[in-house]
Structure 1
Amino acid sequence: MNGFKKISLTALTLILSASLSACGNSNSNSQATTSSDKSGTDKSVKITLLNSKGEIQTQLEDAAKSFHEAYPDITLEIQQVPSGTSPFERASTLYASGNQPTMIMLDTGDVAKFKDHILELGDEKWNGDAIDSALDLTTIDGKNYAFPLAVEGYGLIYNKQVLDKAVGGNFDPASINTTSALEELFKKIEASGKKALTISPMDWSLGAHYLPLAYGGQSKDSTEVSGFIDSLKAGTADLSSNKVFNGLMDTFDVMMKYNMDQASPLSPTYEKGPELLGKGEVGIWFMGNWAWPQISGFDTADKQYGFLPVPISNNPDDYGNAQISAAVSKRIVVDKEKTTPEQQAAAKKFFDWIVYDQAGQEFLVNKANIVPAFKNITMETPDPLGKSIQAYLAAGNVEPSLSDLPADHWTKVGASMQKYLSKAGDRATLAKEIGDYWKKVK
């Protein structure tokens, strides 16, 4: 999730639209290669996957080899989204050139933009084994268009060794279920000689992760969350008097109070967070499980880490106080314009291999360190943050992340959150700027 990049949505949409008129539905330049083309013998098929999760490129390449061993007639090539390019941007460019791959790994919010050009996958067996809500955002008019690859979650990551010392025993994460309880924990950490927490001030962290808790925390019912966002667009929602928004910002005020960089709150870089947490210099960092590879490079706590929810009130029973935010962040779609029926069938076999084959599950969980989106996969991920997410999923304590927000949401409201963090604007200003943003959303 920390790979959010600034792109021009309008420009890219125009590129995509232009590409479709250029390449139409022709199969004339098919990606398929068959041995019969060369020797007249049995058919083989080549398929390609555009990978937008760069940290698992090597693991995917190894998975392609393992998949080929299971299906010798299928060759899978892994392509990579260039660094600094969003998956939507890269996929749009490939469509414009008529070189779209068989499969494309997209962010959840981008799937609907390609709906008319990708295969409907709702009849595949794995739909029935997907975890709750995993298919909601890619199901359009009753049809699912994407394979849910990875679940990612975020909240307050804690270093258990630091917190054990602070509380004088075995820290229980369930004990932090109110804003007041969180502040008491901060006090204990500082009394133990460590810094309570560090706040990473990047606009994507504040605008795409922290603030959306105010939207998703409105209700357990996703239709009510959607209704709240609609009311923001209509200008009828008043954030300044909204209980969840104010509760979330009350917690943010507490976080600001104990932030180790109070003197210069906008100066920390992303790279500093995992170092501080991994070395045990701070007890808590607001971030997601995608940060584990960086944390592990500094780990002195023997992989003892987990997530705490971000409290939104002092009532332990309020929704959000026991939940972390998590959702399927990466989806794989199948092109239907240039792929042959054989390639489409091969892509579907790859999905089945991931979900139902032991080697596929091994790749997903133990090699790629991915939290799976399927109930039938019972392997426990080896990384501690993944384990923590799996525990919250198993307990039903997950608030669905809002992964389909407007493309410029995190840059616009993230800047407003940065202003608040640096005390350049008060809460009334923040509420107004967020409200003004949503009124302009089409």
Structure 2
Amino acid sequence: MKKFKGVQGIAASLLLVSVVTACGSNSSNGEAGGSSPSASEASGGSGSASASGKEVKITLLNSKGEIQTQLEDAVKAFHEDNPNITLEIQTVPAGGSPFERASTLYASGNPPTMIMLDTGDVEKFKDRILDLSGEKWMADTVPNATDLTTYDGKNYAFPLAIEGYGFIYNKAVLDQAVGGSFDPSAITTTTALENLFKQIEASGKKALVISPMDWSLGAHYLPLAYAGQSKDSAEVDKFVESLKAGTADLANNKVFNGLMDTFDVMMKYNLDQKDPLSGVYERGPEVLGKGEVGIWFMGNWAWPQISGFDTAGGQYGFLPVPISNNPDDYGNQEISSAVSKRIVLDKEKSSPEQQEAAKKFLNWIVYEQKGQDFLVNKANIIPAFKNITLPAADPLGKSIQDYIARGKSEPSMSLLPADHWSKVGASMQKYLAKQGDRASLAKEIEEYWKSVK
């Protein structure tokens, strides 16, 4: 069974990306920094698609639906620079699993040239994807960015994005609620969070909205109970192994109960408490951006949608999800973050020319100004490459970078089983809808882990 390894290394890599971003923020013209070669130099050669001038068509399966439009625009810019390469974007259905979609495409004999996967899914395709260890960008990744996708000394994935999540707040709403300038550092306990909820509601707004999608509850919220067990990654590993072995006792676990105490408070003040499973992803950014609620549990990937409704002048940030009433307990002041999305290259069906064209696209993202602009300014992604010195373009990215720089980052659980979010997310949905109590939730989670092969 795969172990949850390398979480402390990810935290170190996140810290470094914050530092190098700060170092590069003195560029007043906004151009891409670094002295690395251009994408054409990095991936060129007599065998490359560009060198031969041959028309090449490649595909990319996108599993970050929130950047679909931005990615399509990037493809147009890439084609302008590489007119002999046509890149088509395919999509994972909303709420679907990238692992399942990629598996279906392989089964049909028509896999994409490039596949955007969650970190934990990369190893499942190891025998079907290219070893990328020799690529130029490997030397420019932040430390530990490829650790979780390296097997037997070979790296199989391109680290696309560093992401983080927690409570996103609309500062204009919170300023009104507290009668002054809201101080996020004041929210370090469950009681403090509930008091803030009360203040928001007293001001005439709703405290928060809970998005009930299984991936949000099962892949983001509940895993805080795993990662929050200890700052020591070895202890987190032991806890996960105890879940698999059936020896963990969630019903009496302090972190799990503390996290669920916070969830109970969230349920009490939820905008959709009368019909808690009715919400969809698109509802969150709308009600937060319009200032109808003060807080939304989600990640920095949501900024493009929030910005479309923004009435707060771009003033947003993150609050950690508290798990106790002791401010010093691990997790009460930390934001969960990690390298999340990876791009892998098919070697089973794609031709050498297609593989070279796909490599050129990845290098274009890392080394060309247009590619870096897409990543940071358009897609609002925190890059995992130290040569990209563009500062975060949005308030949520800046907030995460601030937590990282202050050493307040809790490594996300990047290697959860592929069906964790659907199976355990469904259990969380039952709890949210009050169709089960905490004891039954704990039991269902324990039963799930004992079934993991």
TM-score range, shorter chain: 0.7 to 0.9
Letter in 2 for 1:146: A
C-alpha distance 76-86 of structure 1, shift in aligned 2 (>3 A): farther
Q: 1:94, 1:88 → 2: CA distance?
A: 10
**8 A Cα contact 2:207 2:294, kept in partner:** yes
Note the C-alpha offset of 1:217. 0.9
Give 1 or 2 for the bigger CA radius of gyration.
1
Between 1 and 2, higher relative CO (CA 8 Å, sep ≥ 6) is seen in 2
C-alpha distance 142-312 of structure 1, shift in aligned 2 (>3 A): farther
Partner of 1:201: 212
C-alpha distance 44-267 of structure 1, shift in aligned 2 (>3 A): closer
Partner of 1:410: 421
Partner of 2:93: 83
C-alpha distance 277-357 of structure 1, shift in aligned 2 (>3 A): same
Partner of 2:330: 319
Q: 2:365, 2:127 → 1: CA distance?
A: 26
Q: 1:310, 1:336 → 2: CA distance?
A: 41
Corresponding residue to 1:254 among 253, 265, 270: 265
Q: How does 1:90-239 map to 2 (within 5 A)?
A: 90-239=101-250
CA shift digits 1:249-304 (9 cap, x unpaired): 12112222322343443343433322221121211111222332332232211121
Corresponding residue to 1:280 among 270, 291, 294: 291
Q: 2:188, 2:402 → 1: CA distance?
A: 16
CA shift digits 1:354-384 (9 cap, x unpaired): 2232222112111222221223322123332
Letter in 2 for 1:281: E
Note the C-alpha offset of 1:245. 0.8
C-alpha distance 351-393 of structure 1, shift in aligned 2 (>3 A): farther
Q: 1:34, 1:299 → 2: CA distance?
A: 43
State yes or no: 1:381 paired with 2:383: no
Q: Could you say what secondary structure the match of 2:216 adopts? A: helix
Note the C-alpha offset of 1:77. 1.3
Q: Could you say what secondary structure the match of 2:199 adopts? A: helix
C-alpha distance 420-81 of structure 1, shift in aligned 2 (>3 A): closer
Task: List runs of 5+ in structure 2 lacking aligned partners.
Answer: 1-46
Q: 1:180, 1:207 → 2: CA distance?
A: 24
TM-score, length-normalised on structure 2? 0.81
CA shift digits 1:230-256 (9 cap, x unpaired): 110101111112121111112112222
Letter in 1 for 2:125: F
Partner of 1:362: 373
Letter in 2 for 1:224: E
CA shift digits 1:198-223 (9 cap, x unpaired): 22223322222111100111123333
**8 A Cα contact 1:51 1:57, kept in partner:** no
Note the C-alpha offset of 1:341. 4.7
Q: How does 1:56-71 map to 2 (within 5 A)?
A: 56-68=67-79, 70=81
Partner of 2:58: 48
Letter in 2 for 1:197: L
C-alpha distance 375-398 of structure 1, shift in aligned 2 (>3 A): farther
Letter in 1 for 2:311: T
TM-score, length-normalised on structure 1? 0.83
Letter in 2 for 1:181: A
Q: Could you say what secondary structure the match of 2:89 adopts? A: strand
C-alpha distance 335-272 of structure 1, shift in aligned 2 (>3 A): closer
**8 A Cα contact 2:190 2:262, kept in partner:** yes
**8 A Cα contact 2:48 2:356, kept in partner:** no
Note the C-alpha offset of 1:131. 3.4
More moved, 321-330 vs 96-105 = 96-105
**8 A Cα contact 2:365 2:371, kept in partner:** yes
Q: 2:268, 2:143 → 1: CA distance?
A: 37
Q: 1:186, 1:67 → 2: CA distance?
A: 46
More moved, 144-153 vs 288-297 = 288-297
Q: How does 1:295-374 map to 2 (within 5 A)?
A: 295-374=306-385
CA shift digits 1:377-431 (9 cap, x unpaired): 2212333222222322333322222233223322322232233223333222221
Q: 2:305, 2:82 → 1: CA distance?
A: 35
Partner of 2:448: 437
C-alpha distance 426-381 of structure 1, shift in aligned 2 (>3 A): same
Letter in 2 for 1:350: F
**8 A Cα contact 2:61 2:112, kept in partner:** no
More moved, 324-333 vs 121-130 = 121-130
Partner of 1:24: none
**8 A Cα contact 1:48 1:76, kept in partner:** yes
Q: Could you say what secondary structure the match of 1:266 adopts? A: coil
Letter in 2 for 1:307: F
Partner of 1:14: none
CA shift digits 1:328-358 (9 cap, x unpaired): 2321112223445554444333323322322
**8 A Cα contact 2:219 2:420, kept in partner:** yes
Letter in 1 for 2:393: P
**8 A Cα contact 2:208 2:293, kept in partner:** yes
Q: Could you say what secondary structure the match of 1:79 adopts? A: strand
C-alpha distance 79-33 of structure 1, shift in aligned 2 (>3 A): farther
| % same residue | 75
Q: 1:194, 1:301 → 2: CA distance?
A: 14
Letter in 1 for 2:451: K
Q: 1:334, 1:426 → 2: CA distance?
A: 44
**8 A Cα contact 1:33 1:45, kept in partner:** no
Paired residues, what number?
Answer: 405
Note the C-alpha offset of 1:308. 0.7
Note the C-alpha offset of 1:81. 2.4
Q: 1:102, 1:342 → 2: CA distance?
A: 11
Letter in 1 for 2:88: I
Note the C-alpha offset of 1:55. 4.0
**8 A Cα contact 1:49 1:105, kept in partner:** no
